[in-house]
A and B are shown apart, each in its own frame.
Chain A
Amino acid sequence: MNTALVELAAVSKTFSGQRVLDDIDLEVERGEVVCVIGPSGSGKSTLLRCVNRLETPDSGRVVVAGVDLTDPDCDIDAARRQIGMVFQQFNLFAHRNVLDNCALALRTVLGLKRTEAERKARDQLEWVGLADRANAYPSELSGGQQQRVAIARALAMDPALMLFDEPTSALDPELVGDVLTVMRRLADAGTTMIVVTHEMGFAREVADRVVFMDAGRIVEQGTPAQVLGHPRVERTRDFLQRVSVSG
């Protein structure tokens, strides 16, 4: 009996002749925080997007909470309720205010009444520290605030798994900290998280496991101390050296 919340088996994906994911196997346990690092173009975002089927693998299996997302007959909308996603570009709904952004799916997907949905949405906004901006529109918020709203929006659905696709890469440096703080609290609360990131400090401090990807393959994985502190593979060492030099 397999207890892993997320199970990727032999997942491959090709974009116009280029093999972006090459026979990936990955399991994530409940409560685990996994940070995926690697050079741009290594396939880490594509891997993440396969976990909620924003990308469909060419072959292999993706199972989340017992549901096989690669089965064409699976109810993908139902499966996605279990999987929160936070994007690099926030992707808040531009025509809705902050509260509506967080309440929309509660009403349309879960069928909650407006008052109930808004109460839940407010709770989440409170949790990310933005209850006072409930009536603002996304364009009136800073990038860091927008990303925290995006996190609240995903959390409002009470997902079993949270996916983060380079959540701080589009932020001004001084705004990164607030977002990482929220994510750290989320990890401390026992949320299962897969985080594609360039924030090595965050990975070192928060991750239970770090996965290093290059050229569509998982090159190395282990505890942050192992992968970031004592990488065994040459390519990992190269990458970490370049990151620490430029960072």
Chain B
Amino acid sequence: MADPNGHAVRSGRSPRQRARRRRAIQYVALAIVIGVLAFMADWPTIGHTFFDPALILNTAAHGLWRALWNTLVYSAGGFVIGLAAGTLLALMRLSEVAPYRWLATLYIEFFRGLPALIVFIALSLLPLAFQGLAMPFSPYGTVWAALGIVGSAYMAETIRAGILAVPRGQIEAARSLGLSPAQTLRQITLPQAFRLMIPPLTNELIMLIKDSSLVFIVGLSAANFDLTKFGRAAANNHVNITPLVVAGLGYLIITLPLSIVVRRMEARAASGRRA
């Protein structure tokens, strides 16, 4: 016996029947795993440790929103600095002057290869190394600088790719109208490049939001706690993980909408709509 394509068929089932059977097996396996977990796990303890309703309310009432706001401020500042420095680095990478290209490449490779944690530790130790040095807007200055340094290394490559993706004809058209190289960059290349870069840059913003959890290195007073530090402190106080879960949800409140927006934009770009 053979199917319509001429392949020999082992059993007497049609391809459609076999597909249905495969799916059924997968559902059964899933049901077994869920069943085992449901019966074996100690649900009351899990619920109490991770999702204590009283503690959820307590956490929300005692500084959660302040911490959420701080996380936003830390990440947004780091993103703005990273974007500006990243654009400068990208232009250096594309420069006609070789030493600019070398310097930018060195910077990018160095800080992309380094754990963000090390950058945070180094910056927080800076005032100790240089007596009398104080970062402005403490503690924001230190955090913004650290996130900016790490973020710019990543964003530079994204921005460079975006600039290179602008069709050559756009630049030629601008130049042939008499626009200078600088005017062409400002009016034509960068606006189009940033349009292409919004999805990848949003992904980098999400990364920075998560990296902002490293501010605990800097040493903060309670008013400056970010989500992670806040959740951890509360979890320690109550010897319960619930506050940390709440803090984690705080990140999702920020990052999930961003992810959805990015996915929408990518889908729109894929379907070819622009402008």
Contacts and interface: CB of A to CB of B under 8 A. Distances in A.
A109 B177 contact: yes
A191 interface: no
Residue of A92, A108, A138 contacting most chain B CB atoms (<10 Å): A108
A51 B176 CA distance: 11
B58 interface: no
Contacts of A105: 174, 177-179
Given A80-B176, A95-B275, A109-B183, 7 more contacts: A54-B175, A77-B180, A93-B170, A104-B187, A105-B177, A139-B274, A157-B178
Question: Which of B177, B191, B273, B275 has the most C-beta atoms of chain A within 10 angstroms of its own C-beta?
Answer: B177
Interface in B179-217: 179-180, 183, 187-188, 191-192, 195
Contact of B179 (A77, A83, A92): A77
A104 B191 CA distance: 14
Contacts, number: 67
Nearest to B194: A95
A80 B177 contact: yes
A202 interface: no
B177 A157 contact: yes
A93 B173 contact: yes
Contacts of A87: 169, 172-173
A80 B184 CA distance: 14
Contacts of A138: 275
Interface string B71-108: 00000000000000000000000000000000000000
A162 to B, nearest CB: 11
Contacts of B167: 91
Contacts of A80: 175-178
Residue among A81, A95, A137 with most chain B CB within 10 A: A95
A161 to B, nearest CB: 12
Shortest Cβ-Cβ A-B pairs, 9 listed: A91-B173, A91-B169, A105-B177, A85-B176, A137-B275, A81-B178, A109-B178, A80-B178, A77-B178
Interface of B: 167, 169-170, 172-180, 183, 187-188, 191-192, 195, 273-275
A31 to B, nearest CB: 22
B contacts with A: majority SS: helix
A158 B187 CA distance: 21
A139 B274 CA distance: 8
Contacts of A157: 177-178
27 contacts: A54-B172, A77-B175, A77-B178, A77-B179, A80-B175, A80-B176, A81-B177, A84-B176, A85-B176, A87-B169, A89-B169, A91-B170, A92-B173, A93-B173, A93-B188, A95-B192, A95-B195, A95-B275, A104-B187, A105-B178, A105-B179, A109-B178, A109-B179, A137-B275, A154-B177, A157-B177, A157-B178
A78 interface: yes
Interface string A203-221: 0000000000000000000
A1 interface: no
Interface string A66-93: 0000000000011011011101010111
A54 B177 CA distance: 11
B17 to A, nearest CB: 48
A126 B176 CA distance: 23
Contacts of B178: 77-78, 80-81, 105, 109, 157
Nearest to A140: B275
B270 to A, nearest CB: 15
Nearest to B172: A54
A153 interface: yes
Contacts of B188: 93
A245 interface: no
